Amino acid sequence: MKKTLCALLVALFAAAPVVHADETAAQLPRIPLEASVEGKLSELKLSELGEAFSSRASPAEEAAAPESSMLSRAGDRIGAVLERALDFLGVRYKRGGAAPETGFDCSGFVRHVYAETLGLLLPHNAKAIAQQGQRIDKDELKPGDLVFFNTMRRAFSHVGIYLGDNLFIHAPRAGQRVRIEDLTERYWSRRFNGARRIQP
């Protein structure tokens, strides 16, 4: 399953045009696909995607180590967030969209994933989501954290879910589909606004 997920991501990423995101239909400039992004995607270690992809402890082991069990459950929750987000690769963008059947905008995508996996009801607005959770620095990013960008000359106008290894998944602009991008690309690195860690 792990190899299949990575292969699927590489295929989808290579086939889809590079896009930039917003919650509006504004046309943003295109940038060329960097070979390093595709390479990162194919080499992405699933250990970077949280402990949920590792084998779970048995009930006896969990009982013997309650602290370890708590960490394992936290890893399971983050793993569920990431797996569910990846399930929506290829879903079309729709301004104001909040469901896979009709399409997502960036905040609708994040809201839907967090509601389904963690039972958290986040606002349907990137700036409002940025008011939630714990503020973290870029070098503290962990899989499942939320990353924010200034794509409309205003802070926190776009949001995505961090996957690890500088990659994040998001619902891009009108005419495009949910996809993965690289934080180190010039477009995203220049517009990075900050990150938040949302904990259930």
Known catalytic residues are: 106, 158, 170
DSSP string, the chain: -HHHHHHHHHHHHHHSPP----SS-PPPPP-PPPHHHHHHHHH--GGGG-GGGSPPPPHHHHHH-HHHHHHHHHHHHHHHHHHHHHHTTTPBB-TT-EETTTEE-HHHHHHHHHHHHH-----SSHHHHTTSSEEE-GGG--TT-EEEE-SSSSTT-EEEEEEETTEEEE--STT-B-EEEETTSHHHHHHEEEEEE---
